[in-house]
Amino acid sequence: MDVPVGESEEEVSYSGRPLVINNTDVDDLGPESNVAPPASYRQTPGGIGWFTATLLIINTIIGGGLLNFPRAFHEAGGVWIAAAVQGGLILFITPALLILAYCSDYNEAKTMQDVLYFTWGKAGQRLTSVCMTMYCFGACITYIIIIGDQLDQVFASLYGSTFCHYWYMHRNFTMVASCICFVLPLCYPKKIDFLKHASTVGVAAIFYVVVLIIAQYYVGPYVPGPIKTKPDNWKDVFLVVPTLCFGYQCHVSIIPIYACLRKRTVKNFSISVYLGLGICMFIYTVAAAYGYLTFGANVASDILKSYDSSYTSVLIANIAVAAKIYVTYPINSFCGREAICDMWLDFSLSRRVLEEESHPSLPSEERFRRIAVASTWFTLSLILAVLLPNIGAVIKILGSLAALFIFFFPGLCLLRVSTLEDGANDESSNKKTWLTVVAGTYLAVGAFVFGLVLTQGIYVDFIYDQEVDIPVCLPLNTTTLV
């Protein structure tokens, strides 16, 4: 086993999940036990640099949520109101990422489940695994729906409004075939940094879509519907929160990215976090504002469905978004797969025995779990994506789970870490108090936002939603495809 720089094997023994200090499992330590703070520097051989980490963060954040932002700005009451709410949430979202990185250093965690296992034991690890599985699975369904939307637009542009009359261009076939070819192979690798080159392509694709949205506002032939400058009701301000939470949720992926960093320090990682979130905020705001002002109340939940796909520029955008989603799906699949594998280990044989590096059957067992979970995950998400009509409903419900990862879980982790401060001197006592206050704030905000987002999501999906989804392909007179 490699020992971290500056530490002896007697002080820290790490086998991938639990932390052992002087031969004592952290589960045996009481909440007041003193655990030494993490080392200030760790080297990961063959790891990624801060710029690559930035690209991975951007690629993780900006996905299907971008297409829903213009519609969310309309529901919230206009550009300025929605942008203000977004700015307020960013003040919590950014520190939460650094909190998770800081807490993960105490046991060199590689996933969020590992951090919760260290801070709150098996109960925290199991809760995180369940929530992460639900969220990532829903996100993967959304991504496949988006792929289907983009392919529909492409075929409508190339073959006209009756393209789906042919089975080989029908949405159900194109989604399944393209995902098997371009998504499934990317779901099996063991580490998340295999997407570092694909992330560059994904970021470039998103920038093209943003440029298209801006250009179409100035040169497009579209006549906007009514444009709001204030919400119809003050409570409508919160209607943008589900989309914001879904759009900015990268917290389930942030620790795997941090674990791959060549120089694993919170200070070094903060460069990637600030730069990545700054770029994402700019992209989201510009795309949402120009997209909404172009169509007003007529904007679709998927902004690209509002444009005339007969234009070559729009056609390229559809292909670019599909390409982006092809490399975004595996990131969420990776996090969900790890959560399920953790539960698999937890409810089968001994976790500690199975993960011992010297165990001769570990490679084959790990490979079997990874392949089995990834294949099952992909198949089920593909089936449900075929059955669901659009991304709007899924995004609003997923926003509530995203709120847990953005606010509640970082608060839980920091609260436990604050108890590790001994408070023996003024500096340590002040740090302990400050950490406890920040943790309490995140827990309170997380509980409020979770309840709010879930309630608003259900309200909009089943009661309020007035959007009419206009089909790209004209329906058949019969049920038989050519």
Q: Give the pLDDT confidence of 398-421 residue by residue, as tens digits.
A: 777 888 888 989 998 998 888 876
**pLDDT for res 15:** 35
**pLDDT for res 21:** 34
Tell which residue, 315, 300, 234, has the closest CA to residue 466.
300
pLDDT at 350 over 50: no
Residue 2's pLDDT band (cuts 50, 70, 90): very low
43 pairs with which residues across the strands? 263
Q: Is residue 436 part of a domain?
A: no
Tell which residue, 74, 87, 89, has the closest CA to residue 230.
74
Residue 393's pLDDT band (cuts 50, 70, 90): low
Q: Is residue 71 part of a domain?
A: yes
pLDDT at 6 over 60: no
Residue with the larger pLDDT of the pair 326 and 289: 289
Q: Is 20 helix (H, G, I), strand (E, B) or coil?
A: strand
The tens digit of pLDDT for each residue in 81-91 reads 999 999 999 99
Q: Is 24 helix (H, G, I), strand (E, B) or coil?
A: strand
Average pLDDT of the segment spanning 293-303: 89
pLDDT at 65 over 80: no
pLDDT at 325 over 90: no
**pLDDT for res 354:** 46
pLDDT at 362 over 60: no
Domain count along the chain: 1
Q: Which helix (H) or strand (E) holds 325?
A: helix 312-346
Q: Is residue 480 part of a domain?
A: no
For the chain, give the mean pLDDT: 79
**pLDDT for res 376:** 94
Average pLDDT of the segment spanning 109-136: 85
The tens digit of pLDDT for each residue in 184-202 reads 988 888 876 666 666 677 7
**pLDDT for res 20:** 37
Tell which residue, 393, 217, 219, 401, has the closest CA to residue 293.
217
Residue with the larger pLDDT of the pair 180 and 455: 180
Q: Is residue 29 part of a domain?
A: no
Q: Is residue 449 part of a domain?
A: no
pLDDT at 149 over 80: yes
Q: Is residue 345 part of a domain?
A: yes
Average pLDDT of the segment spanning 324-329: 84
**pLDDT for res 8:** 35
Q: CATH number of the domain that 135 lies in?
A: 1.10.4160.10
- Round to whole Å and give the CA distance between 76 and 69: 10
Residue 263's pLDDT band (cuts 50, 70, 90): confident
Q: Is residue 11 part of a domain?
A: no
pLDDT at 153 over 80: yes
Domain span holding position 256? 49-352+362-390
- Round to whole Å and give the CA distance between 173 and 181: 12
The tens digit of pLDDT for each residue in 335-349 reads 888 888 878 877 765
The tens digit of pLDDT for each residue in 208-251 reads 999 999 999 999 889 888 999 888 888 788 878 888 888 898 88
Tell which residue, 213, 215, 216, 202, has the closest CA to residue 322.
202
Measuring CA to CA, how many Å separate 145 from each of 5, 67, 224, 256, 317? Answer: 46, 12, 26, 26, 16
**pLDDT for res 27:** 43
Q: Is residue 425 part of a domain?
A: no
Give Cβ neighbours of residue 190 (< 8 Å, ≥ 6 apart): 366, 370
Average pLDDT of the segment spanning 242-265: 86
**pLDDT for res 39:** 52
**pLDDT for res 349:** 54
As given in the structure block, the two tokens for residue 11 are 């002080």
Q: What is the DSSP string of 50-102?
A: HHHHHHHHHHHHSSTHHHHHHHHHHHHTSHHHHHHHHHHHHHHHHHHHHHHHH
pLDDT at 1 over 60: no
pTM: 0.76
Residue 455's pLDDT band (cuts 50, 70, 90): confident
Residue 469's pLDDT band (cuts 50, 70, 90): low
Residue 463's pLDDT band (cuts 50, 70, 90): low
Within 183-265, where are the H helices?
196-219, 241-248, 251-259
**pLDDT for res 165:** 86
